[in-house]
Structure 1
Amino acid sequence: MTDSPSGSELAEALRGALLLADPKLSRFDPLPRIISHDEFSRGHCGWSQLVGNYEDSLDTMLPGYAQHTSAMLSTLSHWDAGSHGGMDSSYALKIATRPRAGAQNVAIKRLTFRRRGPIRLEAYFTFKPEATKLQLGETDVRSMGFLLDIQGGDKDAGAERVMPHMRFLNAEDGKHLQRWQFKTQTTPFRPVGNGEKTLSHYHLAPEGWQDLPGGEQRLCYNEIATKVNWSYLRFDFDLAEMRALSFQCNDRVFDMSGFESIRMPAMKNLWCMLNFCLFAETDVAKRAFLYVDSVCISGDF
């Protein structure tokens, strides 16, 4: 005679069955509580332009932020066959740089957290340069990636602002590199405007990136400039310990023991902040596109 399943086991089995029955959720592996499930066929779903701090005038914004533009909803149109569309709908989120070597663009989703526990970011993405030539252009995109911007609560002892960054360095100066990197330092804080009330720093500056140990990976990049294939990524972070837990892209799960985040003292008005960013960077005077089909943010709380 076997033991009957417990109530918690039955609840977990039911939850698993419901996830598998929904094709839009079963492509993800969410933690127990789904915080947001963003399908860009429904709109921007809270992803907006990362606007830099300014005071009195927009001209006080740091140059890194001044280059950013709004993310767009896109059908992945192209000149030879029309439109790709998203992975299973007509639209994806498009993050496009300006056509200048080293230009970046960032989309952000601004949240706060209510409990400290594991969180998970999952997404299906693809990237490519603007197809302006009848050439593959596999080294035209410098990088794409994501970051989190997190700060502890106002009653936390020793609260910090913690910013885990991860990028896929596709190419640099025309050389195909294809490896994951992280960074542990940002640029110095600078006051903007005429006072000391508003500060700013550009944490996506090109300096300070480090190779993730064992982080070399060749992603699918199809044979002509207009083709795309969707890839999967998952990043796990513990809000209680403020440390990365794991990272996966497609079939590869990476060792995160050597990963560290940017850390700084807590700032006076960012308590319980939980921001997610997606970014793209071009290596040539051609726009780079990061397309995101869907995003799932979940937690174990």
Structure 2
Amino acid sequence: MSRPLLTSAGLLDDHRPLSRVVLADDFDHGLQGWTLLTGNYEGSLDTVLPEQRDFRPPMLSNLTMWDTGTAGSLHGSYAMKLATRARRDSIAVALKRLTWQRAEPIRIEAWLTSKPEATTMTLSDRDVRSFGIFLDLQDHDHRVMPHLRFLNADGDRRQHRWQYKPAPRRATQISGETRTHFHLGNDGWVDVPGGQQDLCYNELATKQNWHHLTVDFDLATMRFLGFAFNDRQWSGAELEPLTMPAWPNLDTMLNIGFWVDANTDTRSFLYVDSVVLSTGEEVDDA
């Protein structure tokens, strides 16, 4: 089967989608449905969990830096930008909400880059704690939330390793119909076997190099199939997704999320140039 074409010329040339493209978001055309992850609440905003009350929302950015000017994104003028507050442990999240149609393999691909805010004339390569991707899925029996993050630094130490999160925190019952839980904290992470990776981090905090991420997951088995980042690939055989019994009202949910969190009292940024979600079978390049 030949690779599908897209009217947004060239966007798929730098991705390797499966046979059916569900979405191909180029942020030159706006946020296209990507939004803030808001903690669940009912009756009052006071019921939002404390850890979720200051999640920062996505925005559009043309990557203007004080010394180099406006760089634009990888494929155009704008990227989706996640920016934490200038406070350690602050988190910024972007989420796209949709549903799945068939229980089959899916692939999520993205071009992205992460940097701290250039507030000092230093390398600042330990200001970003981590960035990552998660899915929020539900079939008839289970809610399944695959998480992957690149742990860049923790405290004063560089880490440079991939991790996954296999176990959920206990959910908080807000009412008979509404629950909530915090799943993006700095706890419960497990190292991906062989997951050490040094990324290209250019000499100044105002320079960025784009990286390509691919995540493969099977909706039929609710298991990781594998993931890749730049030139490295990992099997999904040993990666456990966070799993719990199905929640009310979420059947066939398929949400995609990105986040970044701060390791120091400096803002941490994640820029996403484009995101492609595809399903079905592998295709050739003909």
TM-score interval (norm. to shorter): over 0.9
Q: Does the 8 A contact of 1:46 with 1:109 survive in 2?
A: yes
CA–CA separation in structure 2 for the residues paired with 1:88 and 1:255: 29
CA–CA separation in structure 1 for the residues paired with 2:20 and 2:3: 12
- Residue 165 of structure 1, CA deviation: 0.3
Q: Which residue of 2 aligns with 1:171?
A: 153
- Residue 88 of structure 1, CA deviation: 2.0
Q: Which residue of 2 aligns with 1:233?
A: 213
Q: Does the 8 A contact of 1:30 with 1:298 survive in 2?
A: yes
TM-score normalized by the length of structure 2: 0.95
CA–CA separation in structure 1 for the residues paired with 2:108 and 2:278: 7
Q: Does the 8 A contact of 2:4 with 2:21 survive in 1?
A: no
Instruction: State how 1:101-250 maps to structure 2 within 5 Å.
Output: 101-153=88-140, 159-192=141-174, 195-250=175-230
Q: Does the 8 A contact of 2:225 with 2:235 survive in 1?
A: no
- Residue 32 of structure 1, CA deviation: 0.5
Unmatched 5+ stretches in structure 1: 1-11, 154-158
Instruction: State how 1:44-59 maps to structure 2 within 5 Å.
Output: 44-59=31-46
- Residue 245 of structure 1, CA deviation: 0.3
- Residue 64 of structure 1, CA deviation: 1.9
Q: Does the 8 A contact of 2:160 with 2:196 survive in 1?
A: yes
Instruction: State how 1:7-156 maps to structure 2 within 5 Å.
Output: 12=1, 15-16=2-3, 18=5, 22-153=9-140
Among all aligned residue pairs of Structure 1 and Structure 2, give the percentage whose two residues are the same amino acid: 47
Q: Does the 8 A contact of 1:41 with 1:92 survive in 2?
A: yes
Q: Which residue of 1 aligns with 2:284?
A: none
CA–CA separation in structure 1 for the residues paired with 2:79 and 2:4: 27
Give the number of the structure whose alpha-carbon radius of gyration is greater: 1
1:15-45 per-residue CA deviation (whole Å, 9 max, x = no partner) reads 33857x9421111100000000000000001
Q: Which residue of 2 aligns with 1:7?
A: none
TM-score normalized by the length of structure 1: 0.90
Unmatched 5+ stretches in structure 2: 282-286
- Residue 187 of structure 1, CA deviation: 1.5
Q: Does the 8 A contact of 1:121 with 1:297 survive in 2?
A: yes
Matched, 1:259 2:239: yes
Partner secondary structure for residue 18 of structure 2: coil
Amino acid corresponding to residue 86 of structure 2 in structure 1? P
Query: CA RMSD for the aligned pairs?
Result: 1.4
CA–CA separation in structure 1 for the residues paired with 2:170 and 2:192: 24
Structure 1 stretches of 4+ moved >4 Å: none
Matched, 1:286 2:286: no
Q: Does the 8 A contact of 1:140 with 1:174 survive in 2?
A: no
CA–CA separation in structure 2 for the residues paired with 1:31 and 1:63: 39
Partner secondary structure for residue 232 of structure 1: strand
Q: Which residue of 2 aligns with 1:3?
A: none
CA–CA separation in structure 1 for the residues paired with 2:31 and 2:51: 23
Matched, 1:295 2:282: no
Q: Which residue of 2 aligns with 1:5?
A: none
- Residue 223 of structure 1, CA deviation: 0.2
CA–CA separation in structure 2 for the residues paired with 1:115 and 1:255: 23
- Residue 191 of structure 1, CA deviation: 2.2
Partner secondary structure for residue 3 of structure 2: helix
Worse overlay, 123-132 or 94-103: 94-103
1:30-78 per-residue CA deviation (whole Å, 9 max, x = no partner) reads 0000000000000001110000001111121012211112200001111
Q: Does the 8 A contact of 2:223 with 2:236 survive in 1?
A: no
Tell me which protein shows more helix as a share of its residues: 1
CA–CA separation in structure 2 for the residues paired with 1:228 and 1:222: 6
